[in-house]
Chain A
Amino acid sequence: MSRVWRAAARLMLCLGMVFVAASAWALDVPPLTGRVVDLAHVLPADVAASLTSDLETHEAKTSNQVAVLILPSLEGEPLEPFSHRVATTWKLGQKGTDNGVLLLIALRERKLRIEVGYGLEGTLTDLRSAHIIRNEIVPRFRDGDLPGGIAAGVHAILGTIEGSYKAEEGPSAHVRHSQEPSTFQYVLVGIFVGVMAGIMLSHGLQYTRALVGSALAFLVAQFASIVLGVVAAGITAFLLWLILQTNRGARGRRGNWGPDFISGPGGFGGSYGGDIGFSGGGGDFGGGGASGEW
């Protein structure tokens, strides 16, 4: 028995090492702690604060989400794929309009990129992005004025995308979360259907009627077209059936796929900003924008 445990522990250790190695190799996307994420500490507090408030007012007015990320180094990661990874992980911009912009600056590599969401590619074109980098940011960076260059770049970006979208009237930030039926809702429906099916099964209704009930449950879940709902229904029905069949003993407790399925879907929360409650709205990026160096 102990040998089994030791083998298992060894395996875990190996897996752990692989994990550590993998994460050391690829630069992680930093957490979205605010609209201005300055990991290289180049922005004075007052500049960062005023930029943040400008970006906030801009979003309140236009729903565009613009964020700035300043990294000490890319650690060997190529700029464009990393920038795209950050933008899509942070999900800048609103869902549907995809109106997010990321300004990424890597100090050691002296490289920067403006990553533009799908919905703003028409106004903040690759060319316009290149011009902002070339004319607004790089000259100031070359003079050693990083905060000035970043502020000028951000304001040029905001000025360009000003008229593209309008913020929805009313508290759109709250609507955002309940826009589409979440996985959670499907699971709830599934559990409800499962409870029904389970009760039907355990009460020894006629075979045919139970079958009709299950078919109905299946149809409902199918209509929702979500596997998870069906799985939840199945699991609930099975568990309930087990519980209600206690007099029969634990026959047919076949394997441990139950927990597997339950842990399968993972979290359905979404990304939360943290500190000041800023989070991406679900925007997508298609690689638009421009890169530059100084």
Chain B
Amino acid sequence: MGKCGITLFSFLMIVSVWGCGYNDLQGVDEDTKAAWSEVINQYQRRADLIPNLVATVKGYAAHEKDTLEGVVQARAQATGIQVTPETLKDPAAFEKFQQAQAGLTSALGRLLAIAENYPNLKADQNFRDLQSQLEGTENRIAVARKRYIDRVAEYNKMVRYFPTNLTAKFLLHLEEKPNFTVADEKAVAKPPEVKF
């Protein structure tokens, strides 16, 4: 009976852990998708703010053509790449998305740096409001990205750990998902050039 009990117990444990892995994997998979939707959502929000911002800056600094066009182009590029939760598995598409958004971030950084040279623009109520909204959105993007990073880390762990990796591989055909990289953060964190 003793041996029998142990066998039974191990059987119970293995089956339950394996069985729960199925639901848990589905759960974390959904979580990553939800987190990704939030990231997209916030990036979209930023893109929506830009036309107004560009128009406002144009009113005071129309001759800063290069910077203004740079922002418009970067925005077009960023909004042109659609990454749905389903295509999220593709690391190349993810990379492209990340690069386009990073490009827009640095173009925006240049635009705001230029604004420093125009006291009238800086004092403009409309511009200040847009700037507050932009800051708020950047912060939300940071939060959404952090949540996505956490979710994907959790998901990738489950996809790789034994025994859930078996469930992931043979039953659900789930693969690791790409995550945001620090290399991109470095590019973003590079301060824009300020000309005096």
Evaluate whether A230 and B20 lie within 8 angstroms (CB atoms) in the complex, with A286-B140, A290-B132 already known: yes
B15 interfacial by beta-carbon distance below 8 Å: yes
Residues of B at the A interface (CB closer than 8 Å) are 1-2, 4-6, 8-9, 11-13, 15-17, 19-20, 23-24, 38, 128-129, 132-133, 135-137, 139-144
Between A and B, 16 residue pairs with Cβ closer than 8 Å are: A81-B142, A127-B136, A129-B132, A130-B133, A201-B9, A204-B1, A207-B4, A210-B8, A214-B8, A214-B12, A222-B23, A227-B16, A227-B17, A227-B24, A230-B20, A286-B140
CB atoms of A218 and B133 under 8 A apart? no
Q: How close is A71's CB to chain B, nearest CB, in angstroms?
A: 19
Q: How close is B15's CB to chain A, nearest CB, in angstroms?
A: 6
Residues of A at the B interface (CB closer than 8 Å) are 80-81, 84, 126-127, 129-130, 134, 197, 201-202, 204, 207, 210-211, 214, 217-218, 221-222, 225, 227, 230, 234, 237-238, 241, 245, 248, 251-252, 285-291
List the 10 shortest-distance A-B pairs measured between CB atoms, nearest first: A126-B136, A287-B143, A130-B132, A287-B140, A230-B16, A287-B139, A214-B12, A227-B20, A201-B5, A252-B6
CB atoms of A126 and B132 under 8 A apart? yes
When distances are taken between beta carbons in the complex, the residues of chain A under 8 Å from B11 are: 214
Main secondary structure of the interface of B (DSSP, over half): helix
Q: How far, in angstroms, from A288 to B137 measured CA to CA in the complex?
A: 8
Q: How close is A282's CB to chain B, nearest CB, in angstroms?
A: 17
Interface centre among B12, B20, B133 (most CB of A within 10 A): B12
Q: How far, in angstroms, from A21 to B133 measured CA to CA in the complex?
A: 37
When distances are taken between beta carbons in the complex, the residues of chain B under 8 Å from A218 are: 12, 15-16, 19
When distances are taken between beta carbons in the complex, the residues of chain B under 8 Å from A80 are: 139, 142
CB atoms of A127 and B129 under 8 A apart? yes
**New A-B pairs, 5, CB < 8 Å, besides A234-B12, A287-B140:** A126-B137, A214-B11, A218-B12, A245-B1, A287-B141
